[in-house]
A and B are shown apart, each in its own frame.
Chain A
């Protein structure tokens, strides 16, 4: 099962490598990962998507908590939450494709953020499956390059991940 783990950790050099190292060392899978400082600059927030059964996720959570730099770990998928991934995709935009891509982008509420004589860059934000659907919907359009930010997420309502 796919899980989204949110991790608050000390904003120290080496902290990220400990998290990533833990996953490779113990054979856990990382599907996506993003990390950035929070408003409290001593803390970084890392969001990581992984897959595994309950036992595996329990082990991952325990091992993350064991890392000395890690302050808190939450499995967002345990409760109601929102998640967003951002996609930038560079496509070949010539001839009829120029309009076609524009239309598809509008339908998905994306933005064309760069227009070249023969290319567009489309930006789209949303849950992972929406971005996947968009890529499928591009159909015959030639995709030149794709980059995704990785999932960021938060629990809905009053629940807050903080120190």
Chain B
């Protein structure tokens, strides 16, 4: 059998897993591994400028491709810098394997140089973690790490490797396991058939149904099945922030996003529904508004691969634990069976017609895409910037975002027709996510258009990655909506703190982003005038091989609407503009 050192085993295991990129940053405790990477010259390594960016890049890669992202960092600060990105991936259930160097085994616990308890510090934000104790265990631990990260409800797995176990002179047998058996980890593979039968009955007898689909539908590759089901029944569909693209946005049955900044028609339909089919969604507080007032007349069917997501926030009438694909397949079959065994016409066409008329009247009244729902100003409106991006990319780009107003505008106005195209930090809300995530996507899919929608606040949280993009020729397009404030903070300060802008304003100290981009060898564009917006955007995307930083001056006082009335509002309680509410 082949003899390899621990460092070599790690590289070989990544090869055996078919890993396309390692995103990482070297340092003392990881140097044996880095030497093995150099010698093997097999899996390309992307040297980021900060470990947080390595995790976000791996995360973006994973979200766009469905394959696990791989990160390699050193001990101590390397490991702690990775934490934010691991937490981001954990909240959004993204498959990721993070290998961290650790100080030598005999130094663990002695406050050695660059020592931190990585397994301890990451414990609440990982799906699982391993501290390697014997070099011989490396292949089986990595096999388990990839297995755990990618199956069931996906998530990040940390593998902490003490430096002495990677020593080049200590060689052991290497054999990468074909498969994994773990008695303590057996994700559900099929939904309960009795529950599926109940769900089908409830669904077919609904008069005011809504399908509420989340990121789990995308992660679980269930988008086509869900779309078929919705079309077949002619039921309305709303997607969560994480689920955008799970159902085609330009389809007439799509109600838009729901939740805090969700569409009026989506939130109204949810509130007034009698049956909700929740798939791969988790009733997040940014969706439900006040839980006790959540959708009072609705019976809820909840499909999720994670049993702990079910009935966590709201009581559920029909819980189904299982992977979205098998459950939806079974549900479709059940629907066939029940339709065949009844003389009634199901679903009730008259009720459904009436429901659609009601929904259309909501759309006509306040639908975001039906008539212009925002004001005018001398400045470019941020919503128009997103529409220009949509037009310049034919609605087909991979769009990452940071966190704040620009994120919500992108979610509202870029109509995502395909899954895995909208890539944002939904659960953790991590500023600084967008640029490194875009980098990971562009590396995975070099032919795709990749845009990072950001603001002048968020972009500065990981702007150092412009350097990484220069090193590896990663021509993403940065659409930076500059309003000179931390926009979402300002919006809350406008609405709840009498416009006292506590620490949300920094206009006088912003860099010249055009020159900054140029200093890295990229293209910078300043876009100030409305009439320049569409042509500049087209010009930027015509520069296929260049990273373009679009510094777009937008109306500084615009707010994101609709916005849930909080505290104590229901789904239907929304601000529709600065002065109107439901």
Contact = CB atoms under 8 A, between A and B. Distances in A.
B184 A59 contact: no
Which of A9, A14, A63 has the most chain B CB within a 10 Å cutoff? A14
Contacts of B133: 13
A9 B148 CA distance: 17
Nearest to B123: A21
A70 interface: yes
A108 B148 CA distance: 51
Interface string B84-125: 000000000000000000000000000000000001100110
Interface stretch (B58-66, B307-315, B322-330): B307-315
Interface string B153-171: 0000000000000000000
Contacts, number: 39
Contacts of B308: 59, 62-63, 65-66
Nearest to B309: A62
Interface in B350-376: none
B442 interface: no
A58 B311 contact: yes
Contact of A163 (B124, B183, B307, B311): B183
Contacts of B307: 62, 65-66
A85 interface: no
B127 interface: yes
A71 interface: yes
Given A21-B124, A59-B312, A62-B308, A68 B148 contact: yes
Interface in A2-24: 9-10, 13-14, 17-18, 21
B370 to A, nearest CB: 40
B317 interface: no
Nearest to B130: A14
Contacts of B120: 17
A71 B185 CA distance: 7
A133 interface: no
A10 B119 CA distance: 17
A23 to B, nearest CB: 11
Interface in B388-406: none
A8 to B, nearest CB: 9
B129 A14 contact: yes
B131 interface: yes
Interface of B: 119-120, 123-124, 127-129, 131, 133, 148, 182-185, 306-308, 311-312, 315
Given A65-B308, A68-B127, 10 more contacts: A10-B184, A13-B131, A14-B119, A14-B123, A14-B131, A18-B123, A55-B311, A59-B312, A66-B306, A68-B128
Interface of A: 9-10, 13-14, 17-18, 21, 25, 55, 58-59, 62-63, 65-66, 68-71, 163
22 contacts: A9-B184, A14-B119, A14-B129, A17-B120, A17-B123, A21-B123, A21-B124, A25-B124, A59-B308, A59-B311, A59-B312, A62-B308, A63-B308, A65-B308, A66-B307, A68-B127, A68-B128, A68-B182, A69-B184, A70-B184, A71-B183, A163-B183
